[in-house]
Amino acid sequence: MTVAKPLPHDAAHLHVTGQARYVDDIPTPKGTLHLAFGLSSIAAGRITAINLDAVRAAPGVVGVWEAKDLPSDCDCSPSAHDEPMLSGATIQYLGQPIFLVAATSHLAARKAARLGQISYAERDAILTIDEALAADSRFEDGPRIWEKGDAGEAIDTAPRQISGVIEMGGQEHFYLEGQSAMALPQEGGDMVVHASTQHPTEIQHKVAHALHLPMHAVRVETRRMGGGFGGKESQGNALAIACAVVAAATGKPAKMRYDRDDDFMITGKRHDFRIEYRVGFDDEGVISGVEFEQYTRCGWAQDLSLPVADRAMLHADNAYHLPHVRIESHRLKTNTQSATAFRGFGGPQGMLGIERVMDHIAHDLGLDPVAVRRANYYSAEVEGGVASAARTNGAALATPAPSAPPRSLSSKMKEQDIASRGSEELVENTGAEGAVAGQTTPYGQVVEDFILHDMTDRLLDGADYEARRAAVAEWNAGNAVIKKGLAFSPVKFGISFTLTHLNQAGALVHVYQDGSIHMNHGGTEMGQGLFQKVAQVAADRFGVPLEMVKITATDTGKVPNTSATAASSGSDLNGMAVKAACDTIRDRMANHLASLHQCDARDVVFADGQVRVQGETYSFARVAQMTYEARVSLSATGFYRTPKLSWDRIKGQGRPFFYFAYGAALSEVAVDTLTGEYRVLRTDILHDAGSSLNPALDIGQVEGGFVQGAGWLTTEELVWDQAGRLRTHAPSTYKIPACSDRPDVFNVALWDGRNREDTIYRSKAVGEPPFMLGMSVFLALSDAVASCGDGYPTLDAPATPERVLTAIERVRDGV
């Protein structure tokens, strides 16, 4: 059996030796043109004059395109058709592409792109959340509101109330491999595109639209990416379209890659958020009602902002049962880069809001924050809405099903895009129902698989929490300069695309005469080990060694209509699709052998590279040869669609998630109160990957996700100046965590459970959920700051040393 084994990444040796081939490593045909964009130098306004004569006359330049020269609008949007590749006369953000240059080399194209002479009529740019609110600049016609129960009444009648606000910044993806694409013109006007993308089908769709071609005339291939994190779900569209347009116009191959500075300036980042909260609770910290107002800075175009903001609302409860809750979400339009998908897809922002609430309650009551969190957990087991004997927050289970919240938006339908991720205005006839009485989320899904009670006990016992809590208090009492903080944070993360039709996958599997197996599926490899996991599934279905299985590049010509490798769904969807294809071929082989041996096909056993039937043993290769000679097909497609999903995003009701993945982290930090500098001393993590397909890869994902999440909340700060120019646009000014920033003691383990839902080998997704474990570092910093005085440290994210120092001063001054 190959599944559940901690096997190394299939391309690990290629990565470390430099042999792994990325788009920029593909040998280019003679005469390949290289492209670059000319970018705007203002954030908002109109172009009054443009002179590109110097660009056209620059050495090596072959062609220059403005918006009026393109074969279509060349829309790059994954959702609302509001993102033309080139700006035209209207400028929406500083760094927006205005014209396109094709030259004989990458350097020549970049140099020429800087020579454009452009005059503007500037207008005041909308850059911040406050400015967008003042101007009523937003996507959708008003706030989206979801409600359960009567939060206002519950808060007003609660024994205690608090309110507050937390600001959290965006985050740059900072993939090792930047955005890149190459287009190769074919006969008859067809196009082959190599793209560093998480969504080959969207590239196919957008290139076909730009060139007025049917999708069958465009083939997109992606072997691997050097990191994606959501930044290559939609942001690669512009490069692929540009290459295809130039290739179609000139008949020559075209290639484009962003330099790091251009990548920062052009592409979207994680969404900035502000979350205001008001909460009512009792003397034990049990929440009776809570109100959230979420403000999302979306940037200039819609991109994936609506589903991102939706998912922030969907995760506003995190691990906690909220009997009465109101969530109001504002999606604000600003003259900045169009914010886009990033690992967690809005979930981290929503979770950080409720985690701030838990810490604030604990501080107000003088209780251990872990005790407050445990008091608000969902029940340990809930079947069909009926709670187990575990604590159920008293009468909360009797909360009636909520009616649909007021419709604050017009019901006009907007143009939909087949590649979008849950951003339609309406989702009709989903069959989504209101919440049943029971332990339901704010959106009405019954939480049936809650395991954080046991996970919390095991993590805290193993990490010696009680003794360390006391030791931190003793340390802080005796040390005036260096303060320590210790904090725990849980994770409950929903797994599925919130746009139901994206929860599908296909696969194509061939068995050759010699027994070797060739496989394609719709998922993309960005370093996470998806190909390795899916190969392990295929090897297990046929009972052969892993080296018998080969997965090649993701290819829209082999597996059509793929969903993005996103929403942590890669292994779930593609693993099941490959399993279906393999089982089809294996059953054909078994039926053929059974007919030869006059027995039932169920008596044929595939294991250890051999096939046994009626006392006879064949090699798998021999059975493949025999089946081929009997003229039985050894090729099959597989298909999978996630079951049990039903979601109405307008009502905010239904079951958007197939299941939940869980995790828990405990982090300890030390803070220098004179400078605000800090170190992470120790982190202990217990994460739920179900019955892991590959524990080694999953632990790697947990470690990396945690570090990236901690980076978002600590060192990674995006700064725009008053003109709308991104000032942190290079490694010199934007700081991702380095190896030395990881915890000095870093203990990571996987929970020894299995998925109650019928996923591939009962595993669970592990791409996004570990990211939120990094919140424990932010909360530990807040805990350390709190030891400096009596006030609550309203620390914002990212908690840079400057912000930490400011928070320390506020706490000491009693502000």
> Tens digit of pLDDT for each residue in 536-555?
999 999 999 999 999 999 99
Contact 376, 343 (CB under 8 A): no
Residue type, 171: Q
Arithmetic mean of pLDDT over the chain: 93
What does the chain come to in residues? 815
Q: What stretch of H or E contains 675? A: none
- Structure confidence at residue 438 (pLDDT): 57
Contact 167, 274 (CB under 8 A): yes
- Structure confidence at residue 417 (pLDDT): 45
> Tens digit of pLDDT for each residue in 575-594?
999 999 999 999 999 999 99
Contact 569, 495 (CB under 8 A): yes
Using the structure block, give the residue that is written with the tokens 């910044």.
Answer: 169
More confident residue, 382 or 128: 128
373: number of Cβ within 10 Å: 25
Beta carbons within 8 Å of 160's beta carbon, 6+ residues apart:
280, 281, 282, 283, 364, 365
CA distance 638 to 115: 52
Spatial CA neighbour of 753 closest among 490, 458, 533, 463:
458
- Where helices occur in 31-175 by DSSP H, the ranges are 53-57, 106-113, 129-135, 151-156
- Structure confidence at residue 102 (pLDDT): 98
Residue 414, pLDDT above cutoff 60: no
Contact 239, 195 (CB under 8 A): yes
* Partner residues linked to 685 by β-bridges: 665, 748
- Structure confidence at residue 429 (pLDDT): 39
- Structure confidence at residue 814 (pLDDT): 82
Long-range Cβ pairs for the range 696-700 (8 Å, 24+): 696/6, 696/7, 696/8, 697/6, 697/7, 697/9, 697/528, 697/529, 697/532, 697/533, 698/750, 698/766, 699/748, 699/750, 700/529
Residue 426, pLDDT above cutoff 80: no
**pLDDT (mean) for 652-667:** 98
Task: Show the tokens assigned to 509.
Answer: 């599997």
* Partner residues linked to 38 by β-bridges: 99
Using the structure block, give the residue that is written with the tokens 């001063």.
Answer: 809
Residue 416, pLDDT above cutoff 60: no
CA distance 583 to 192: 32
CA distance 170 to 218: 34
Contact 86, 159 (CB under 8 A): no
Spatial CA neighbour of 413 closest among 421, 430, 422, 425:
425
- Tell me the pLDDT band of 2, cut-offs 50, 70 and 90: confident
Compute CA 261 distance to the chain's CA centroid, rounded to the nearest angstrom.
23
* Sequence-ordered strand ranges (E) for 601-672: 605-607, 610-613, 616-619, 635-641, 646-648, 653-655, 659-672
Residue 567, pLDDT above cutoff 50: yes
Of 13-27, 291-305, 403-417, 645-659, which range is least confident?
A: 403-417
- Tell me the pLDDT band of 815, cut-offs 50, 70 and 90: confident
CA distance 346 to 271: 8
**pLDDT (mean) for 379-385:** 63
Contact 535, 549 (CB under 8 A): yes
CA distance 652 to 125: 33
Spatial CA neighbour of 538 closest among 530, 546, 527:
546
Residue 142, pLDDT above cutoff 50: yes
Using the structure block, give the residue that is written with the tokens 């099959």.
Answer: 636
Q: Catalytic residue at 177? A: no
- Structure confidence at residue 397 (pLDDT): 31
Spatial CA neighbour of 172 closest among 752, 795, 711, 755:
711
CA 315-318-322 angle, to 5 degrees, is: 95
> Tens digit of pLDDT for each residue in 265-310?
999 999 999 999 999 999 999 999 999 999 999 999 999 999 999 9
Residue 430, pLDDT above cutoff 70: no
Residue 392, pLDDT above cutoff 60: no
Spatial CA neighbour of 346 closest among 772, 648, 803, 810:
772
Residue type, 410: S
Residue 402, pLDDT above cutoff 90: no
* Sequence-ordered strand ranges (E) for 534-631: 549-551, 554-555, 605-607, 610-613, 616-619
**pLDDT (mean) for 96-118:** 98
Using the structure block, give the residue that is written with the tokens 């190959």.
Answer: 2
CA distance 183 to 190: 10
Diameter of the chain by CA atoms?
Answer: 87
CA distance 676 to 781: 10
- Structure confidence at residue 381 (pLDDT): 67
> Tens digit of pLDDT for each residue in 327-374?
999 999 999 999 999 999 999 999 999 999 999 999 999 999 999 999
- Structure confidence at residue 436 (pLDDT): 37
578: number of Cβ within 10 Å: 31
- Tell me the pLDDT band of 656, cut-offs 50, 70 and 90: very high
Q: Which of 291, 424, 716, 768 is catalytic?
A: 768
Beta carbons within 8 Å of 180's beta carbon, 6+ residues apart:
22, 23, 24, 195, 196, 236, 239, 255, 256, 257, 258
Direct distance between the N- and C-terminal alpha carbons of the chain, in angstroms, rounded to an integer:
61
Residue 420, pLDDT above cutoff 80: no
> Tens digit of pLDDT for each residue in 694-722?
999 999 999 999 999 999 999 999 999 99
Of 18-32, 398-412, 743-757, 797-811, which range is least confident?
A: 398-412
> Tens digit of pLDDT for each residue in 442-484?
999 999 999 999 999 999 999 999 999 999 999 999 999 999 9
- Structure confidence at residue 421 (pLDDT): 58
CA distance 633 to 676: 67
CA 293-298-300 angle, to 5 degrees, is: 145
408: number of Cβ within 10 Å: 12
What is the β-pairing status of strands 272-281 and 254-257?
unpaired
Task: Show the tokens assigned to 655.
Answer: 């079951």
**pLDDT (mean) for 742-752:** 97
